[in-house]
Amino acid sequence: MTDLKPARVLAIETSCDETAAAVLENGRALLSSVVASQMEIHARYGGVFPEVASRQHVLSITPVVEQALSQAHLTLNDIDVMAVTQGPGLAGSLVVGMNMAKGLALGSRKPLVGANHLEGHIYSGWIYNAGESIPPEPQFPLMVLLVSGGHTELNLMTDHLTYKRLGSTQDDAAGEAFDKVARLLELPYPGGPSIQKISEEGDPHRFNFPRSWMDGTYNFSFSGLKTSVLYEVQDMKKKGKTTLPIADMAASFQQAVIDVLFKKTIQAAREYGAKEILVAGGVSANRALRQTFKAQTEFPVHIPPLSLCTDNAAMIAAAAYYRFAYGQVSDLGLDVRPTWPLS
């Protein structure tokens, strides 16, 4: 870390329905972060409408980038590296960000780094706001629980950019399960925040929903849990119940997810001799999940602030910085894909 070259990175993130840009210095110090959310637009569809998302990115991308530079009190000339999310994500959304980044890199003659969205979530654990006290960096070997959208993974990180995937979802990821169960319970989109909010009024022990431990592996499966909630809802309706105990059902479902994520992560950290734990991705914003990990004292735990849990460009800038510092720079055609064996 001490030998890495200093650099200011301007990053763009358009993998799904957030148009985001950020400026990060030396892989950690956040100078600016701007996110234009499309949540209200897609709420009417109950999920992200890909064509609508890409069209909205086209409208938002230029003012978002300009605002990120303005908030950092910099111009494009002050930037050392351009970065952009290269995948995974919605094709129509990704191309908007990539074309913007390529245009800026070409026009300013800056090097360009294509970053992986999942790796970005991991590197959100290194970021702090410039001007504030510098928090300690995560220490290797680091056990990483990545819970983002369609991905639930356990990764052992032994050094920067060095990963060993221990397990991943075999069907529904945790984030997908939250969204699907929210629809079953007729809760608003997005499902994660809706379930968290109503769960605070419920009893997490009222319903004994199943936990899929997949013994002998660090893989995850939440499809059976989702189906169990579905059957419970159908059974109550067949019995003529017009008012369902939504809060209790949501809280019991949420607790089942947290139990599996937490216990598997702690078990893996013990087995592989991890020094610390990092929890990252959209689901890491869940209050009950954060409290569960923070309450244990066996391992130091890093969880990004809420603003960095959901999609943002700061995390892309962080991942891109380390790729750049270790010499993994794309040309303007972005023909060198970032190494990421875990996606």
Domains and CATH numbers, the chain: 8-127+308-325 (3.30.420.40), 142-303 (3.30.420.40)
At which residue do the structure tokens 């939250």 appear?
178
Separation in Å, CA 73 to CA 65, 70, 110, 207, 314: 13, 5, 19, 53, 16
The answer to whether residues 326 and 119 touch, using CB atoms and an 8 Å cutoff, is: no
pLDDT exceeds cutoff 90 at 70:
yes
Among 24-28, 51-55, 95-99, 279-283, which stretch is predicted with the lowest mean pLDDT? 51-55
- Residue 326, both tokens: 């270790």
Exposure string of 100-117, with b = 16+ CB inside 10 Å and e = fewer, is bbbebbeeeebbbbbbbb
Report the pLDDT value the prediction gives residue 292, as an integer from 0 to 100.
98
Report the pLDDT value the prediction gives residue 112, as an integer from 0 to 100.
92
**Tens digits of residue pLDDT in 82-139:** 999 999 999 999 999 999 999 999 999 999 999 999 999 999 999 999 999 999 999 9
Query: Who contacts 35 (Cβ-Cβ below 8 Å, separation ≥6)?
Result: 18, 19, 20, 64, 311, 312, 313
Q: Would you tell me how many other CB atoms lie within 10 Å of the CB of residue 153?
A: 24
What whole-number distance in Å separates Cα of residue 311 and Cα of residue 20?
Answer: 8
For the sheet with 151-159, list strands across it: 162-168, 151-159, 142-148, 276-280, 301-302
Give the predicted TM-score (pTM) of the model.
Answer: 0.92
| Mean pLDDT of the region 278-290 | 97
| Mean pLDDT of the region 195-218 | 97
Report the pLDDT value the prediction gives residue 334, as an integer from 0 to 100.
44
- Residue 306, both tokens: 């809420």
Residue 46 — very low, low, confident or very high, per pLDDT cuts 50/70/90? confident
For the sheet with 29-37, list strands across it: 112-116, 81-87, 8-13, 18-25, 29-37, 128-129
Q: If we measure between CA atoms, which residue out of 11, 31, 32 comes closest to residue 112?
A: 11
* Burial (Cβ within 10 Å: 0-12, 13-18, ≥19) of residue 173: buried
| Mean pLDDT of the region 41-52 | 74
Report the pLDDT value the prediction gives residue 52, as an integer from 0 to 100.
83
Length of the chain in terms of residues written: 343
